Structure 1
Amino acid sequence: MDSASFRVEGKRMVDFVADYWDTIRERRPLPDIKPGYIQELVPSKAPASPEDWSAIFDDLESVVLNGATHWHHPHFFAYFPTALSYQSILADILSGGIAGIGFTWKSCPSMTELEMSSLDWLVDLLGLPEHFKNAHDGPGCGIIQSTASDSTMIAIMAARAAQVARIKAEGDVGLGKWTADIGKTIREIFERVKSNKPTLQSQKSIHIVEDDENAEMIVPFYHDPTVFEKFVMYCSDQAHSSVEKGAMLSGIRLRKLKAQRDFLGNFGVSEMTLRNAIRQDRDRGYIPFMFLATIGTTCSCGVDRLDVLGPICEQEGLYLHVDAAYAGTFAFCPEFKYLLNGIEHADSYNFNLHKAGMVNFDCSPMWFKNGTNIAKFFNVDALYLAHEYQSTAADYRHLQVALGRRFRSLKIWFVLRNMGVAKIQDYLRGTEKLAAKFAELIIEDGRFEHFVPQHLGLTCFKLKNSSNSDNERLCNAINEDRRIHLVPSTVQGNYFLRMVVCSQLTNENDVIFAKNVIFEITDRIFDVY
């Protein structure tokens, strides 16, 4: 394909995508297929010679769209939204066309600097602390990660490294401030660290020493496993599964704290629960180092109160990361800024603009209160990455796991400039209004009840006087019907159904349709009601 063909076929593909959106109501949100369906449509071996592009294009419907779950269908009510707009599609086209990899400032200056500026826009729009701005005089900064899962793991490793550095710097000094048990734990750790003397000669992120075979061995200063053996972090038992994965891959003990009904009638970690966990673990000889708070849990859109838990983290020396993957976008609206009360206590914060912010996947902004310090924890120097401006310019490779990165800020820049903040606010408010309508409708005949109060586009509901198996049976029947799609969840042994407004195409008639489908299927399988 040359540039002339690309112009023709590119326009054809844009038309195909536009037609898909215009006719998406004619489809069903879930495809009627079984695993392995594609084996009948795609040859087992790649073609030896080129195929005509038209033949490939003709296969898009049968191979791709007929086997897709349509997340933007107006009757898709599962998980949480994955945002999209024509502006962000255009941004991805340009990003793919430039095909740059912005691991350093010099590798693509516009990629780095536009990201810095667009994230500063978001700080203002969300009402985040000024110290998160890239343009601020302090050490704070922002970066676009791929997903909230990436952000969580980065935060865990950064918090772990900060605690390792603190212990190594203290050594035997200041142990009197610890309880007897925790002081003994740190002394034991420090004795093991001292036995590896090369790692204590300087605070470089990596040290190269010689082992008994005269081969070079890399010893990480900030990620020294001899130090974090007794570390423990905390999160709500409602936190996303990525927290458990991040802790697991970081080699850290994770303690899930039982959430209680409190703020907004939903589930969150209480002040007493966190304080007791810290005290208990220190008495056991563990080293609490981090609390991960969630703003908008996946299960029920619950909120851990930062204004209550943040001061505890500061008093106890715990790193506080805030995961607002879904709910964070709602802070664009003044009436939802209560979600971020206490955000000034956070050491790092992330949310997924690609969930409800009209920007398509992937785009997960993340901010650090002290990015300058954290950059040390991820720094690996190589001559081919060096450039003459590295002492004054930002190199985003120091704040992520991967080296390469895409031009994601184009999506933010295009959407905010061409769509405007007011349009995003209208969408968020409309989402909440539709969810409130569904919450009203689902209980109108008396067979259902809310599990928690409706919140930010999400309604959690279940059959009254029912068992978990009853609600599971209903959920399976709804999805097997395929006219609407939703998913269940459980909180502390209670099974319930989740209905979340996902598509910007969803209107009040679609919400009424969803209620009617649920009532019809309930009538069919529970004729005793």
Structure 2
Amino acid sequence: MIDPHMSPEDFRRHGHEVIDWIADYWDTVADQPVLASVKPGDVAAMLPHEAPEHGESFDAVLADLDRVLMPGITHWQHPRYFAYFPANSSPAAILGDLISSGIGAQGMIWATSPAVTELEQVVLDWLARALDLPTAFLNSEGGPGGGVIQDTASTATFTALLAALHRATGGTARTTGVEPARFAIYGSSQAHSSLLKAAMMSGLGEDSVRTIAVDPGSQAMSVPALRNAVAADRERGLTPLMIQAAVGTTSTGGFDPVADLGEIARDCGAWLHVDAAWAGVAAVCPELRWVNAGVGEYADSYVTNPHKWLLTTFDCSAFWVRDRAALIGALSILPEYLRNPATESGAVVDYRDWHPQLGRRFRAVKLWTVLRTYGLEGLRAHLRSGVELAAHFAALVEGDDRFELVTPPSLGLVVFRAIGPEQLTMDLMEAINASGTAYLSHTKVEGRAALRLAVGGWRTTRADVDLTWRELGRLLSS
């Protein structure tokens, strides 16, 4: 039988081809339409119904990458990708991810690869210090808290909710379950949908989530509305379980008042989880550390995503807790096949207890390569560029009487609309996305449509912002 595995020589040759392909892709992506233009089923129709019986050459795979897959790719690394938030990659992160894949370690417990766990502890401490997070969140200070890399902020929110349940029930939730009608969870009307999904997955159900109104101007959670909702639930005999504070909401980049929410959480005994998935990394810049105001004093858990704005290839979501006891208490299971002397000694961290999944990739190595090769100085330059470009675009909007800002610019996010009928704004978005020049997304603010332009790509320049603006004006006039 022919050996189906690549020889080291073939792997080396094809590896060079893949790196060349990626480099060529970066060189030419700005010339491509940002948004994929295929119809539903087009890509699937070009693929065979069954896997090949006999192995094909890797050259054939690379050829089909261009022929079959690329027409169906929306280019998230395009310099004029402004929809949603950036999902940045970078050369350093890709090489780090390649190293991780090559090593192929499974870091479920310390003993299965000590370096996987210990590097993660160290780089999360580096990042926590860079963000000026409280020392209680550090792994190295010998305190009760610590950090872990999750796949996404959605998983972090679910994990925080499980920890909150464990603390609120004294541990009985993991053995006997919970009564859904007993607890209440709070988030603003602008909170990420993952909060609702976390309630669903935990068994508490959608009805346990209280949607709190926001201030029309700032789009931040209304403190009086939250206070009233908590008081009403307590009067009905319900236990306030968790309050989620959004730091940089998806829709408009609004910032909930973490300190005010923290005071309410402390008064009623609720867990305060801070979702700073997009905006939190901005605190690497000292002048932007206001984004995390109140976190140090009040947050029980905190999440931010280096895989959004901090140049680290998806997936890499940094999650910290003030006290790991509730987290580990909620999720720790030790079957016989995972028992080992290091775990039994209590001297190591086994990250299998820090999130729902058992298996875990060596994600820390790509964050390590980013932090080391860019340095904090390089990361600050990237973040500041995004903020400056967004401010430039906002100034263009303010200077044109055909457009208006819907909310004040928020870091790298600008929310705006065309003045006139609501459909005009939606038609403009469809037109610019169809043109291939740029990709924008929309939201609704106080019931009216608005466009979102989120700057943060590592290849985005002022020229890209200006080109997008000119195209918007041309399409609006046509």
Report whether the alignment pairs 1:397 with 2:352: yes
- In structure 2, distance between residues paired with 1:340 and 1:160: 25
Question: Equivalent of 2:372, from 402, 405, 417?
Answer: 417
Question: Equivalent of 1:490, from 426, 440, 444?
Answer: 444
Report whether the alignment pairs 1:354 with 2:307: yes
Q: Which residue of 2 aligns with 1:430?
A: 385
- In structure 1, distance between residues paired with 2:89 and 2:386: 14
C-alpha deviation, 1:467, in angstroms: 3.6
- 1:42-441 superposed matches below 5 A: 42-165=47-170, 221-222=173-174, 224-252=176-204, 253-261=208-216, 265-344=217-296, 345-390=298-343, 391-441=346-396
C-alpha deviation, 1:35, in angstroms: 1.1
In the TM superposition, what whole-angstrom CA distance separates every residue of 1:71-95 from its partner, at most 9, and x where no partner exists? 1111111000011111111111111
Counterpart secondary structure, 2:163: helix
Counterpart secondary structure, 1:497: strand
Are the aligned partners of 1:235 and 1:291 in contact in 2 as well (CA < 8 Å)?
yes
- In structure 2, distance between residues paired with 1:40 and 1:226: 47
Q: Structure 1 pair 373/153, CA: closer, same or farther in 2 (3 Å)?
A: closer
Q: Which residue of 1 aligns with 2:3?
A: none
Question: Which amino acid counterpart does residue 310 of structure 2 have in structure 1?
Answer: G
Question: Which amino acid counterpart does residue 510 of structure 1 have in structure 2?
Answer: D
The Cα RMSD (Å) is 1.4
Are the aligned partners of 1:161 and 1:223 in contact in 2 as well (CA < 8 Å)?
no
Count how many residue pairs are aligned between Structure 1 and Structure 2.
467
Are the aligned partners of 2:159 and 2:327 in contact in 1 as well (CA < 8 Å)?
no
Are the aligned partners of 1:160 and 1:223 in contact in 2 as well (CA < 8 Å)?
no
C-alpha deviation, 1:223, in angstroms: 5.6
Counterpart secondary structure, 1:449: strand
Q: Which residue of 2 aligns with 1:475?
A: 429
Question: Which aligned runs of 4 or more in structure 1 are off by greater than 4 angstroms?
Answer: none
- In structure 2, distance between residues paired with 1:397 and 1:55: 39
Are the aligned partners of 1:281 and 1:288 in contact in 2 as well (CA < 8 Å)?
yes
In the TM superposition, what whole-angstrom CA distance separates every residue of 1:205-226 from its partner, at most 9, and x where no partner exists? xxxxxxxxxxxxxxx6536334
- In structure 1, distance between residues paired with 2:377 and 2:267: 39
Question: Which amino acid counterpart does residue 239 of structure 2 have in structure 1?
Answer: I
Q: Which residue of 1 aligns with 2:11?
A: 6
Are the aligned partners of 1:324 and 1:349 in contact in 2 as well (CA < 8 Å)?
yes
Are the aligned partners of 1:349 and 1:368 in contact in 2 as well (CA < 8 Å)?
yes
Are the aligned partners of 2:247 and 2:276 in contact in 1 as well (CA < 8 Å)?
yes
5+ residue gaps in structure 2?
A: 1-5
C-alpha deviation, 1:270, in angstroms: 2.6
- In structure 1, distance between residues paired with 2:182 and 2:446: 28
Provide the identity percentage.
Answer: 38
Are the aligned partners of 1:294 and 1:304 in contact in 2 as well (CA < 8 Å)?
yes
Q: Structure 1 pair 268/223, CA: closer, same or farther in 2 (3 Å)?
A: farther
Counterpart secondary structure, 1:23: helix
In the TM superposition, what whole-angstrom CA distance separates every residue of 1:407-453 from its partner, at most 9, and x where no partner exists? 11101211111121111100100001111111111232301110001
5+ residue gaps in structure 1?
A: 166-202, 204-219, 525-529
- In structure 1, distance between residues paired with 2:326 and 2:79: 45
Q: Which residue of 1 aligns with 2:477?
A: 523
Question: Which amino acid counterpart does residue 458 of structure 1 have in structure 2?
Answer: L
- In structure 2, distance between residues paired with 1:511 and 1:125: 29
Are the aligned partners of 2:136 and 2:145 in contact in 1 as well (CA < 8 Å)?
yes
When Rg is computed on C-alpha atoms for both structures, the one with the higher figure is 1
